Chain A
Amino acid sequence: MKTSLLAADARTKKRNAAEKRFRAYGLSAIIVAMSALLILLTSVLVNGLSSFQQTFITMDIELAEERVDKEGNRDPAEMAKTTTIGYNSILRDALIATIEGEGLTTDLSNRDIADMISKEASATVRDRVLANPDLVGQTVTFDVLASGRIDGYFKGDVTLESAALDSNTSPEALTLAQQLADAGVIETKFNWNFFIWPDASVQRPEAAGLGVAILGSLYMMIVVLVLALPIGVASSIYLEEFAPKNRITDIIEVNISNLAAVPSIVYGILGLAIFINFMEFNQSSPLVGGLVLTLMTLPTIIISTRAALKSVPPSIRDAALGVGASKMQSVFHHVLPLAAPGILTGTIIGLAQALGETAPLLLIGMVAFVREYPAAYTPEAGLFGEASTALPVQVFNWTQRSDPAFVERASGAIITLLVFLLIMNAVAIYLRRRFERRW
């Protein structure tokens, strides 16, 4: 039978239909994935962007000598006897004076007015005064933190209706805050301190920051980079280029692949048993965290490095050996430079994984509430031995707190973490492009 090219036969139609179906599957899979990502990012951004803003009250505070320096000798040690409770009343009086100065009236009790100021504020002012005793006796303009509820009101999280049911604030306080804002006393502005301040207690979400967490994560990344990169690269080079191919190397290879699939919390248990219980390193320290994350990252680095080494064409090795290079010269002069972009990408992806890892850190005590900035080195605690926390653990911590203001903080921490991951991935892509060479 003669067939026409103009009419598709049954078999062709079937094939074309199958191809069309497959394209539709692929397209819908991508749409689902993209919308999931979009929903995730939107919810995080909507919840979290406001954490980079903070509400401040600008007021003139009279630092009368009889209230902050009872001895009158400007000696910080003596002045320290005035506690934050003493400063609370100073701040309260300053705010009342400011309200009166603006010509506003309110039914609020003095106590309720004091509650509009963050509990952190008195400590901030006190620290400033202790650091600079010359301020005593002067009237100084301070930007102090407003309380979490006032802050929430200006960010739209707290409304007059919700305030009516809230024991921590009242609709009157919010109305007053609105009037103060109209008068320019209360202002919402960008809050660098979110990245600098340490964590704060449950009562003062407005003062909670990521400083300690960022520092702890940084220390851990240093430990991971310094340990995992050389160990991982050296072992992959040995396995790939030098080790004889026999049963033992086969077993090692299978085990490395399996290690990459071990749940990260298992590494946490391992770290707890070995580094803390047996080797007696400090709990909660970035050193232990870094060691655990190193163990976890090593298989990733080894696998990607071996893949990068494998992808270097054998003709390059032959060429090097052919002109009389030794095995090591051929690896270090020719194979390694060609594999470098792959190795770097693998390493950075491993680091990014480690940066976002939470579970193993919970087990080694990095979930603790830490207010002190950890030092990189102290004689007592050793290198990276001071208690710290980490970015993902801080997210975990904040999401567990009851005060709704921490929802915003947690999302802000997630955004910060994502930005760090994005930066690392961008660096990986840049390095890959920069060092990629064709052969």
Chain B
Amino acid sequence: MEDMIHVDRAMSTNQDIKISAKGVQVYYADNHAIKDVDVEIDDKTVTAFIGPSGCGKSTFLRCLNRMNDTIDICRVEGDIRIDGEDIYDPKVDPVQLRAKVGMVFQKPNPFPKSIYDNVAYGPKIHGLARNKADLDEIVEKSLRKAALWNEAKDRLQAPGTGLSGGQQQRLCIARAIATAPEVLLMDEPCSALDPIATAQVEELIDELRQTFSVVIVTHSMQQAARVSQKTAFFHLGNLVEYDDTDKIFTNPHDPRTESYISGRIG
């Protein structure tokens, strides 16, 4: 286990709390999917959610930008604040929230439009660009940040769906960061990618940490160890342990965490 951990992981000096969740409960109809989760996510940090399938880590992630609103039977209770503002307040428009909290999904899902339009769509609907030159700049900046610019600059008008899987996922990341979010949620972003593409995306995540707070759900403990500074371990809807990644992987508190990371459960 040890050798997989970045030893020289630089801890961010700025440790402001970006998201704070208290007593979060999520129900799918009668199924109690998230049980009383308290967590505080730091700004400019990569936080990984790990745990066995069905433990609720994706569900909890989707609470953070209210994507669960689209599921009719889903009910969220508790208190989730971003920068101290309750995101489940009736006055909050989920559309505005999602512009602030971007999301990258498990399967690359570019729009069946050109690469340019994929990235430009968010800025367009949020009115982030005053003119075409502005928009071009945003697109270029986002694609550069997503490490896709060199591959895509000559074919911006080609369909985004024509890219390879790893490129598509980086396109989705470019699309998510084009709206200048403050938090980026990633739901198993590498599960459909090969090891090379995974490495590229992980490198990218590490860079994005300079600008955003990144929350990543992953099945791969190695990945969590490689990219994150903080790790939360979910099990059966409970947040079992939440601590610095080093600590979780080297000296876990809870016996369940230890069993999971050593491969006995999950």
Contact = CB atoms under 8 A, between A and B. Distances in A.
A323 B175 contact: yes
Interface stretch (B23-31, B76-84, B106-114): B106-114
A318 B105 contact: yes
Given A245-B72, A324-B98, A319 B112 contact: no
A323 B112 contact: no
Contact of B107 (A315, A333, A334, A338): A315
A326 interface: yes
> Which bucket holds chain B's interface residue count?
20 to 34
B156 to A, nearest CB: 18
Nearest to B65: A322
The listed residue with most A CB atoms (<10 A of its CB), out of B72, B103, B104, is: B103
Contact of A439 (B99, B122, B161, B176): B161
Given A321-B67, A323-B176, A334 B98 contact: no
A17 to B, nearest CB: 43
A439 B126 CA distance: 25
Interface string B81-108: 0000000000000011111001111010
B105 A315 contact: yes
A15 interface: no
Given A321-B67, A323-B98, A437 B105 contact: no
A316 B99 contact: no
In terms of DSSP, what is the predominant structure of the interface of chain B?
A: helix
A319 B109 contact: yes
Given A318-B105, A321-B70, A334 B111 contact: yes
Contact of A324 (B70, B107, B111, B126): B126
Contacts of B99: 323-324
A319 B96 contact: no
A318 B111 contact: no
Contacts of A334: 111
B125 interface: yes
A329 interface: yes
Given A324-B125, A438-B161, A319 B111 contact: yes
Given A319-B109, A319-B172, A334-B111, A325 B102 contact: no
A26 interface: no
A331 to B, nearest CB: 12
Nearest to B108: A315
B221 to A, nearest CB: 26
B47 interface: no
Interface string A320-343: 111111100100011000100000
Contacts of B102: 322-323
A263 interface: no
A272 to B, nearest CB: 42
Contact of A315 (B109, B122, B125, B126): B109
A184 interface: no
Contacts of A316: 109, 111-112
B223 interface: no
A315 B70 CA distance: 12
Interface in B143-198: 161, 172, 175-176, 178-179
A318 B109 contact: yes
B58 to A, nearest CB: 12
Contacts of A320: 111, 121
Interface string B122-155: 1001100000000000000000000000000000
Given A244-B72, A439-B161, A322 B103 contact: yes
Given A318-B67, A318-B105, A324-B98, A438 B112 contact: yes
Contact of B125 (A245, A318, A325): A325
Contact of A326 (B72, B95, B121): B95
The listed residue with most A CB atoms (<10 A of its CB), out of B67, B98, B179, is: B98
Contacts of B72: 244-245
Contact of B179 (A319, A324, A329): A324
25 contacts: A244-B72, A315-B105, A315-B107, A318-B103, A319-B111, A319-B175, A320-B121, A322-B104, A323-B99, A323-B102, A323-B175, A324-B95, A324-B98, A324-B122, A324-B125, A324-B179, A325-B95, A326-B95, A329-B125, A333-B121, A333-B125, A338-B112, A437-B112, A438-B112, A438-B161
Q: Which 10 A-B pairs have the closest CB atoms?
A: A324-B99, A315-B109, A323-B122, A322-B103, A324-B98, A439-B112, A319-B109, A437-B112, A326-B95, A324-B95
Interface of A: 244-245, 313, 315-326, 329, 333-334, 338, 437-439
